[in-house]
Structure 1
Amino acid sequence: MVSSSRALSSRVAPGRAPWASPAFDVLQLEDYDWVTAGDSASSAEGVAVAFARLGYPVDRQHYLSGFVLRPDQAAEWGLIEAAADVARARGVAETFLWALPQVMRDGFVHFDTEQEDAVDAFDDVLFPLALGREAEVAPGFSTAILTSSGGREARNAAWAEARTSYDVGPGLRSEADIGVLLAFFRARMGAARGFRLRDPFDFDAVGEVVGVGDGVARRFALVKSYGAAARRITRPVAGSVSVAVGGVGTSAFSVEAGGWVVLDGAPALGAPVTAGFAFDVPVRFAEDRLSVARATFLAGVAARVPLVEVREA
């Protein structure tokens, strides 16, 4: 059994310990302080160290996430649940939220969406055709507007971020392009599988504030700001991310899937963390049917190929 502690590496001697696999049936990983502090980067490193030192395969690991010591700390259940989901995604044999008295005390309920997540397929490939400036880009919101008899309006924004629609049909320039498009459409199974799209009008960011140091957190989500609105960036272009802490550039970081920057060390309290990056937009075909006619294409009529942005975070 290995618990999450910053003394982990000092307690486990270099090389394989006597209790390394296959000495026991199961390795039980207890992850408490890092989880409740939101330090998921240290949790991931601890798991990697435990595997490297002890060698238990993931299907012979149990993961214990938690716990919430006091009722006034109930907000930590969200962090505990997220850590448990990460462990399940790794494929551990059993995952436990620790412990039952605290779960009952705070009335915590977990809704299992594993089956729903399984159909959220995404192919990490770029749309194969250059869009050019003929492509149509249409960001949109969902706003409910109630108009009174006197003409006054009450407006309720259902979305905090815009969702962008595209028509990439005008970018088709040859019959060869049509062939590439049809093959790509078939490979994505129509609207079933998402992919990357390089938006020709909005594809990079410079000096974006992604967080402020608190002395503990090392993991920060990439965002792009549009005035007071922020857009979560989940598909940065590989090799394009740069980071600065307190205005000083650093290379002591890594980039995790989903658009997360993980610093090697926690920034000091109050130190701004900024990032620059290029990014792609996760999209899917808007329809399960694609119609491209050779005759109309040769006549100069642009095909309609609608895409819609996929919200990943």
Structure 2
Amino acid sequence: MGFHETRFPASLSFGSVGGPERRTDVVTLANGFEERNTPWAHSRRRYDAGVSMRSLDDIETLISFFEARNGQLNGFRWKDWADYKSCLASRDIAYDDQVIAIGDEIEASFQLTKTYRSGDESYTRPITKPVAGTVRVGVAGDELQEGIHYSVDTATGIVTFVHPPNEGFEITAGFEFDVPVRFDTDRIQTSVSSFRAGNVPSVPVVEVRI
């Protein structure tokens, strides 16, 4: 599968519906109790951009983007307006938003991650598509400078330090990020309701593993 480092127009993804999904196998035992298991370590996100189409110009932009991706063939970036920062949406990104690793004086490359917490439980999500120019990184409470102390691969979300961080030092990061997705259909059906407005019933998009 190919992947294009191109973002779906953010003005068209705004207003879309969607979010994370999990796969859980539930077996009800004879005594009424349940056994629940999941084959997925990570959630997968789905969206529908159709509800955000507002004009014929939007539809033309959508069709151009769809054709350039060859339908489902090539993946692309998607801005999830409900979850696109390492911090709360109302806050500004800071270099200490997320703890992504602990230094060991050996490893120099680390995956960006975002941790979701509720009560005593948490889930750590790999971030593979950070937005260029938004990544801030710190070590042991001090912010470092990109291009001097570290580099960021925006196609993988890997942060590589010039020198491996010292053992026990906390490595933190803040960033904006996109979701790697593809169209979940090979067909776009439009219905023109007037000479100035159009309607796209469904434009399903699904997250892909990178």
Identify the TM-score tier after normalising by the shorter chain.
Answer: 0.7 to 0.9
1:250 aligns with 2:149: no
After superposition, the C-alpha distances for 1:134-164 in whole angstroms (9 at most, x for unaligned) are 3101310111111112211000011111100
- Matched residue, 2:206: 308
- Matched residue, 1:160: 41
- Matched residue, 1:210: 100
SS in structure 1 opposite 2:100?
strand
> Hey, what's the Cα distance between the residues in 2 that align with 1:280 and 1:132?
12
* Contact 1:129/1:177, CA 8 A, preserved across alignment: no
Give 2:163's aligned amino acid: G
SS in structure 2 opposite 1:205?
coil
Give 1:157's aligned amino acid: T
Q: Alpha carbons of 1:240 and 1:297: their partners in 2 closer, same or farther (altered >3 Å)?
A: farther
- Matched residue, 2:7: 126
Q: Alpha carbons of 1:292 and 1:302: their partners in 2 closer, same or farther (altered >3 Å)?
A: closer
> Hey, what's the Cα distance between the residues in 2 that align with 1:180 and 1:146?
45
Name which of 115, 118, 121 aligns with 1:225.
115
For residues 13-92 of structure 1, the aligned pairs below 5 Å read none
Q: Alpha carbons of 1:242 and 1:306: their partners in 2 closer, same or farther (altered >3 Å)?
A: same
Aligned residues with identical type, % of pairs: 41
* Contact 1:285/1:308, CA 8 A, preserved across alignment: yes
Task: Tell me the TM-score normalised to structure 2 length.
Answer: 0.86
1:255: how far off? 0.6
SS in structure 2 opposite 1:184?
helix
Task: Tell me the TM-score normalised to structure 1 length.
Answer: 0.59
* Contact 1:297/1:303, CA 8 A, preserved across alignment: no
* Contact 2:19/2:47, CA 8 A, preserved across alignment: yes
Give 2:207's aligned amino acid: E
Q: Alpha carbons of 1:187 and 1:306: their partners in 2 closer, same or farther (altered >3 Å)?
A: same
1:304: how far off? 0.9
* Contact 1:131/1:200, CA 8 A, preserved across alignment: no
* Contact 1:138/1:165, CA 8 A, preserved across alignment: yes
SS in structure 2 opposite 1:180?
helix
- Matched residue, 1:265: 163
1:282: how far off? 0.6
- Matched residue, 2:32: 151
* Structure that is richer in strand per residue: 2
Cα RMSD over matched residues?
1.8
Q: Alpha carbons of 1:238 and 1:129: their partners in 2 closer, same or farther (altered >3 Å)?
A: closer
* Contact 1:190/1:288, CA 8 A, preserved across alignment: yes
1:282 aligns with 2:183: no
SS in structure 2 opposite 1:130?
helix
SS in structure 1 opposite 2:159?
strand
SS in structure 1 opposite 2:193?
helix
> Hey, what's the Cα distance between the residues in 2 that align with 1:297 and 1:171?
18
* Structure that is richer in helix per residue: 1
After superposition, the C-alpha distances for 1:53-90 in whole angstroms (9 at most, x for unaligned) are xxxxxxxxxxxxxxxxxxxxxxxxxxxxxxxxxxxxxx
Query: Which of 1 and 2 has higher RCO (CA within 8 Å, sep 6+)?
Result: 2
1:261: how far off? 0.4
Larger radius of gyration: 1
Which runs of at least 4 in structure 1 moved beyond 4 Å after TM superposition? 296-302
After superposition, the C-alpha distances for 1:143-188 in whole angstroms (9 at most, x for unaligned) are 1111112211000011111100000111111101101111111111
> Hey, what's the Cα distance between the residues in 2 that align with 1:299 and 1:265?
56
